[in-house]
Chain A
Amino acid sequence: MIIVDKLCYSSKLRYMNAEEKFAFSIITLLICVISRSLICALFLLLAMGILTVKIAGTPLRYYRKLMLIPLTFLILSTIAIVINFSHTPLDAFAIPVGSIYITGSWQGILKATQLIATAMAAVSCLYFLSLTTPMTDILEVLRKCHCPLIFLELMLLIYRFLFVLLDIADAINISQHSRLGNKDLKTAYHSFSNMVSVLFVRSIKKSNALFDAMESRCYDGTIRVLSQNYPPRKKEIILMVLFDLFLIILIIGGKLI
């Protein structure tokens, strides 16, 4: 149902120590976002792509599709950054419209390129984490970081309920489709709203039933699960540290040139 969730369970890096993966992707992400260096971003985009597709074994066609998800936002907001409305033309381009110019400067274009590269590289870092680490492992890492317990409990339950509700929504959607529930826009709106209403009623019913079931099995506010422990490997840690050091050197080198 949720494609990222499906893919991460079949990833080849699924059984690597989760804290390692978490720390690696977050630190790399931070380096990328803080430095905003073009070279670093391009290198990261390539390296994270190779890591996710070749080493973690995510199918390339899915990876490509996933990388395109934030594209709408990227295109629209970059347009807003590059284009200016001004009475005086800037140096890169200027299209006169009446008394004002639709105009942009080279500096703005350079900044926008840098921004696109950084954002895409950051997304690739995020994907490295989400395509190799199942949500339950990420929750385990957060628990070790001393996240508030109620918060974690809520996250765990929400994660479980997502799939329950998505299943119901999907079933309703199929039956609506097979009964011409989307034949025109008005019907479609009604079908959608009815689906949401039914989804709400079902979710309340389910949650009540679930609480009764858990209560009768001695639920006291926390679900305790045994965490599978995959010890961190020295080799992997060294490689990751080297990778990040290389990134920093690349950034400093790029600034000097």
Chain B
Amino acid sequence: MNTKEQRIVAISAAFAVAYGIIPGVSAMHIMEGYLPVSFCIAWGVLCVPFLIAGFFSIKKKLQENRRSLILLAMAGAFVFVLSSLKIPSVTGSCSHMTGTGLGAILFGPSAVSILGLIVLIFQAILLAHGGLTTLGANTFSMAIAGPLLTFAIFKLCEKAKVNRKVSVFLAASLGDLLTYCVTAFQLALAYPSEAGGVAASFGKFLGVFAPTQLPLAIIEGILTVIIIIGLESFARPELKTIGYLKEGEA
């Protein structure tokens, strides 16, 4: 074996070991107390403009129609339940969807930022996924960056007239991947490697979480596609109420 081959064997062995010790796979929430305070505050501040934008968009929607408050609340609960349901997985361990991708496709990214924040608070308090001090960092990766990319890809594909299924799959899975990359980057910034600094650390975090997050992104993509197909075939009136389908479309 030459050096390169040896390296590949070593890395795949590390993956195998990591896979062996993982009891359950969930979306990558940074746990309570894991980030230094300065980073918690910085990520929190970074979220503020997005949250304010989301807040005003919700307020505007409420002025138009008060019914939308209940609808938004239901959407929030829907995202939470989606992320707490066990999805079927190959290894038999329990994994969870992020749910914010589907939320962004259905309800738009500005509403999802606020809903995502609330869902993350509930997840921290009720499920111990994530935490209160890391709320800012988690909100940025899961409720802002991921959904924004999902929505952007979805709209772009719509403009380019890509097949609906393909565009939903791309949007959901790439949004999931971005969430994972942003989280790894947040961890890397807080804990730069002793050899190689932030970049090396980023690579390490990406690598360590890859065996759980890569399949999860693909599964999330597939599930979102089947869900959207299901919705479009028998929930057209409901999709119109939330503005996903235009009134004219039959």
Q: Taking beta carbons and an 8 Å cutoff, which residues of A are in contact with B?
A: 2, 4-5, 26, 29-30, 32-34, 36, 66, 68-77, 79-81, 83-86, 88, 90, 97-100, 102-103, 105, 107-108, 115, 118-123, 125-127, 129-130, 135, 138, 148, 150-151, 153-155, 157-159, 161-162, 164-166, 169, 182, 185, 188-197, 199-201, 203-208, 210-211, 214, 221
B133 touches A (CB below 8 Å): yes
The CA-CA distance from A194 to B88 in the complex, in Å, is: 13
Give chain A residues whose Cβ lies under 8 Å from the Cβ of B200.
Answer: 84-85
Contact between B193 and A127, CB atoms less than 8 A apart: no
Find B33's partner among A84, A103, A119 (CB 8 Å cutoff): A119
In whole angstroms, how far apart are the Cα atoms of A26 and B58 in the complex? 29
Which of B55, B69, B121, B204 contacts A148, CB < 8 Å? B55
Instruction: State whether A161 and B77 are in contact (beta carbons under 8 Å apart), knowing that A126-B131, A135-B125, A135-B126 are contacts in the complex.
Output: yes
Question: B22: CB under 8 A from chain A?
Answer: yes
26 CB < 8 A contacts A-B: A4-B127, A29-B33, A33-B36, A73-B30, A73-B31, A76-B212, A80-B187, A83-B204, A85-B195, A86-B195, A86-B196, A150-B58, A150-B59, A150-B62, A158-B73, A158-B77, A158-B118, A161-B77, A189-B222, A192-B88, A193-B227, A193-B230, A197-B230, A201-B234, A208-B241, A210-B70
* Interface size, chain B (Cβ < 8 Å): 90
The answer to whether B118 and A203 have CB atoms under 8 Å apart is no
Q: Which of B2-10, B42-50, B143-151, B169-177 contacts A (4 or more CB under 8 A)?
A: B2-10
Q: Would you call the interface of chain B mostly helix, strand, loop, or mixed?
A: helix
Residue B80 is within 8 A (CB to CB) of chain A in the complex: yes
Chain A residues contacting B125 (CB-CB under 8 Å) are: 4, 126, 129-130, 135, 138
CB distance from B209 to the nearest CB of A (A): 6
Cβ-defined contact, A70 with B32, below 8 A: yes
Instruction: Please pick, from B26, B28, B67, B69, the residue contacting A154 in the complex, using a CB distance under 8 A.
Output: B69
Q: Which residue of A lies closest to B87 (CB)?
A: A192
Q: Are A197 and B32 in contact (CB under 8 A)?
A: no
